[in-house]
Structure 1
């Protein structure tokens, strides 16, 4: 994590916690010639709404103006992580057990680098994912130190309610 995102998380955490929300992720990225500071916030009690994002954005913007941790110009974006929320912290993985996930690895495991399936177990050392290959199910154990990206995913093969 970069120094800027760490500083922003330290500023954002008390603001978000004070609103009974959860800080999911922070990123500071350059796209084209512009810099973007993106802060992803979720509501553990239900769906996020635009007003909650606006309140976080306003309070965080005031704090960023006061402390001025970023030298260059940037755009602040506060939003919900959406349905495909990233899994970063240990509690994210714990809450995601039993849910459909997407995992990309740094190197091949069982001949693959990308996995979609149900997270059956999340240990500190490994993730156990049940994947479907054509008509059969297979369980794959993915070492945590090999995980490049992990997020919730949408299972398009599941029947609609």
Structure 2
């Protein structure tokens, strides 16, 4: 059911986002404790601010009230994906080339399942991460999770 709700929410919010120059980064519909949360992560060139989040939230809330696709009570949250933005779509990986990333894989590659370093290349089939002097070429099909990483 969660996947269906995410698809419905995407269909409802995408026209507004596209018309206003926003990018849909991710949608989560999760239960935490006894509460359900619908989280919509958006971004735009130059970043989003609280006013942007408020406008998107108002629009989406009205659409959700009109269509009523979610049978349970939930909290709607609209926010930026943050500094450690997830990399989910090919475009996310393409824009992350040259940046510090953290990736995990479903099974070991080069004897490990966690990789942190600079994403030096992405071609849709593989992502190359340079950690120190070693480069790891990871098949995209084996990547379980990926995000930008803050270097401390």
Whether the TM-score (by the shorter chain) exceeds 0.5 is yes
CA deviation map 1:56-88 (0-9, x unaligned): 000000001111111111100000001111111
RMSD: 1.0
Question: Paired residues, what number?
Answer: 151
Aligned to 1:159: none
Query: Following superposition of structure 1 onto structure 2, how do residues 2-151 of structure 1 map, counting pairs within 5 Å?
Result: 2-44=3-45, 46-132=46-132, 137-151=133-147
TM superposition shift of 1:47 = 2.3
Taking structure 1 as the reference length, what is the TM-score of the superposition?
Answer: 0.91
CA distance in 1, matches of 2:47, 2:8: 27
Structure 1 stretches of 4+ moved >4 Å: none
CA deviation map 1:19-56 (0-9, x unaligned): 21111100100100110000001012x12110000000
Taking structure 2 as the reference length, what is the TM-score of the superposition?
Answer: 0.96
TM superposition shift of 1:16 = 1.2
CA deviation map 1:94-135 (0-9, x unaligned): 111111111011111111111111111111111001012xxx
CA distance in 2, matches of 1:150, 1:107: 14
Look up the SS of the partner of 2:144 in the other structure.
strand
